[in-house]
Amino acid sequence: MRPMRALILAAGRGERMRPLTNDLPKPLLPAGGQPLIDYHIQALARAGIRELVVNLSWHGEKLRAYLGDGLRYGVTFSFSEEGPEPLETGGGIHHALPLLGPGVFWVVNGDIACDYRFTLQRLPSGTLAHLVVVPNPAHNPRGDFLLADGRIAAEPPAKSTGTTAHRTFAGISVLDPGLFAGVSPGRFPLAPLLRAAAARGEVSGEEHLGRWTDVGTPERLEALDAELKSRS
């Protein structure tokens, strides 16, 4: 079986992080003594995922220069250039598909911090996506998706043999390129594609109960930095 590849989403402008992102892409913001993106690269490498794609837009040249050839991480990088305007999550993944190859691949948001282990090797039968979800943080109390018996449901199922709950999307997923079949290139979000696939029963899910932070504001970055430094 071909080793899985991974896409780290790093093209966004980081509007909520200004002024910190005026001259720096958000994945290069430091926390605990190293840039946010380093934690993802290290975790993926530990899981044996060594062919990484990084999408670039806002200050993409700085990210490319920092990452280099990947030798110091024990990985290789390919870069998906999006131009001056980021393509959003769905458009960015679609644009990177030629670099990701024909198999299923990991996708990780570059602006989260977590201790998730990337152990899944294949998608469950009959699915096009697998989402990692987390308990709802204070800034997203209603959650994003409904997790029911290991599946992401568009609506609560009529009969459930286990627990059912809305959870927040962790920004970590395994996707099959078939999720984008018939989709035109351009700028578009990922969520509508996931919800459509979930309505067809084609999305599985799992809940991560470990450490996770959506580093979406300077305050959350500051709190994460303090937490990581206290652990070192």
Give the pLDDT score at 160: 44
Give the pLDDT score at 157: 46
In the chain the domains, ranked by start, together with CATH numbers, are 5-231 (3.90.550.10)
How many Cα atoms within 13 Å fall on the side-chain side of residue 72? 4
Backbone φ, ψ for residue 98 (5° rounding): -60, -30
What lies within 8 Å, CB to CB, of 17 at 6+ separation is 26, 29, 215, 216, 217, 218, 221
Give the integer Cα–Cα distance in Å for 200 and 29.
39
Give the integer Cα–Cα distance in Å for 11 and 9.
6
Q: Which two tokens stand for residue 205?
A: 């899910």
- Predicted TM-score of the model (pTM): 0.93
What would you report as the CA-atom Rg of the chain, rounded to the nearest whole angstrom?
17
Give the pLDDT score at 203: 98
pLDDT tens-digit series, residues 158-209 = 444 445 578 999 999 999 999 999 999 999 999 999 999 999 999 999 999 9
End-to-end Cα distance, the chain: 37
Handedness of CA 79, 81, 84, 88 (dihedral sign): negative
Q: Which two tokens stand for residue 87?
A: 């393509």
What residues in the chain have per-residue pLDDT under 70? 1-3, 155-164, 232
DSSP-assigned beta bridge partners for residue 166: 146
Give the residue among 194, 188, 192, 215 at the shortest CA–CA distance from 86: 188
Give the pLDDT score at 2: 57
- Reduced to 3 states (helix: H, G, I; strand: E, B; else coil), residue 146 is strand
Give the integer Cα–Cα distance in Å for 134 and 210.
8
Largest separation between any pair of C-alpha atoms in the chain: 52
Give the pLDDT score at 159: 47
Strands (E), the chain: 5-9, 30-31, 34-35, 51-56, 76-81, 105-109, 112-114, 129-134, 145-148, 151-153, 164-175, 203-207, 212-214
- The secondary structure element, H or E, covering residue 45 is helix 36-46
Give the pLDDT score at 232: 66
